[in-house]
Amino acid sequence: MTILGVLFDVDDTLFDYSTSERVGILKHLAAEEMLELFPSPAEAVEVWREIMEEEYARFLAGELTFAGQQLARARRLLAHVGRLPADGMPDDTVTVWFSRYTEFRKTAWAAFPDAAPTLASLAVRYRLGVVSNSSLAHQREKLRVIGLLDHFGDAILCSDDHGAPKPDPGIFLAGCALLGLPPHQVAYVGDKYDVDALGARDAGLHAYWLDRAATGTADGAAPPDGADGVTMIGSLDELVTALTTLTA
């Protein structure tokens, strides 16, 4: 079985999104003198993440633009702590508020330590690309800042530009097309079991679920490693060995 290409998710796969999000919102709320309005810093992060997941889902469903989901997230958090005026807040003001958060978040932007070495090792043998549920401009800038952009060239595909998000099979197949390969010659690596692993598998790719927390579960329901056609790895370091074993 010959694997010639590898496609990657970005957030919480190559890029430590969760840490940057936590650092960013806590610094931002502290600077805005809003952190004390939450029972604890952990509660503040939890509320922000819940809002993000709900509004980002609306973006992926086509109900909001990428910028629109940012505005919705900011307005909901401001309303949650009683800082949103009864007559609302102009978009420009909300945009500036959210931009202050993103500046704090950027101070914590970083690739996982295993990302660059893994990509460098794989690049010797495989064509590399990205398929992400996001905006192309946003992800390219993120990959540039964390030093990974050059590994992918133009082989970066995002749902906002493609028109359909993962787990739609079309976006995985379009990613394979960017590599110039059929799906059965491409592996996909992502941290979300249902969206990434099952989506890639159902599109005909070789699916690798990156479970950095080593929980062995996805929403408490993942079957044993390999039982569903998905290979579980605990780090990107394991990917090189897994791919080598598969193609040996």
Domain ranges, ordered by start, for the chain: 5-16+110-247, 17-106
Instruction: Fill in the DSSP letter of residue 186.
Output: E
User: What does the mean pLDDT of the chain come to?
Assistant: 93
Where is pLDDT greater, at 245 or 27?
Answer: 27
To 10 degrees, what angle do helices 66-80 and 91-106 make?
Answer: 90
With bands split at pLDDT 50, 70 and 90, how would you rate the model's confidence at 215?
low
pTM, rounded to two decimals: 0.92
What is the CATH architecture assignment of 17-106?
Orthogonal Bundle (1.10)
Least confident interval from 64-68, 176-180, 193-197, 240-244: 240-244
**Interval 103-129: pLDDT, tens:** 999 999 999 999 999 999 999 999 999
pLDDT at 248 over 60: no
Could you count the other beta carbons within 10 Å of the beta carbon of residue 66?
16
Alpha-carbon dihedral sign for residues 26, 195, 178, 60: negative
- SS3 string, 118-171, reads HHHHHHCCCEEEEEECCCHHHHHHHHHHCCCHHHCCCCEEEHHHHCCCCCCHHH
Q: Mean of the pLDDT values across residues 50-59?
A: 97
pLDDT at 132 over 90: yes
pLDDT at 88 over 90: no
Residue 227 is predicted with a pLDDT of 57
With bands split at pLDDT 50, 70 and 90, how would you rate the model's confidence at 170?
very high
Residue 221 is predicted with a pLDDT of 52
CATH of domain 5-16+110-247: 3.40.50.1000
pLDDT at 222 over 90: no
pLDDT at 19 over 70: yes
